[in-house]
A and B are shown apart, each in its own frame.
Chain A
Amino acid sequence: MSPLLKDFLNTRVVVITTEGQCFVATLEGFDKNTNLVLSDVRDRVSQQEIASCYFLRGSQVVCCGPLDSGGKESVDLHDLGNDRNSLELRDTLNRVADEHLIWGKVWQSKEARTSI
Chain B
Amino acid sequence: MLFFSFFKTLVDQEVTVELKNDIELKGTLKSVDQFLNLKLDNISCSNESRYPHLSSVRNIFIRGSTVRYVYLDKNMVDINLLQDAARREAMSAKK
Please list the residues of chain A having a beta carbon within 8 angstroms of any beta carbon in chain B. Answer: 2-5, 7-8, 14, 16, 18, 20, 22, 34, 44, 58-59, 61-68, 70-74, 76-77, 80, 86-87, 89-94
Contacts and interface: CB of A to CB of B under 8 A. Distances in A.
Interface string B45-69: 0000011111111111111011000
Interface of B: 19-23, 31, 33, 35, 37, 39, 43, 50-63, 65-66
23 contacts: A2-B33, A2-B35, A3-B33, A4-B39, A5-B61, A16-B21, A18-B21, A34-B63, A58-B63, A59-B65, A63-B62, A64-B61, A65-B54, A65-B60, A68-B56, A70-B56, A71-B56, A74-B56, A76-B52, A87-B52, A89-B21, A89-B53, A90-B21
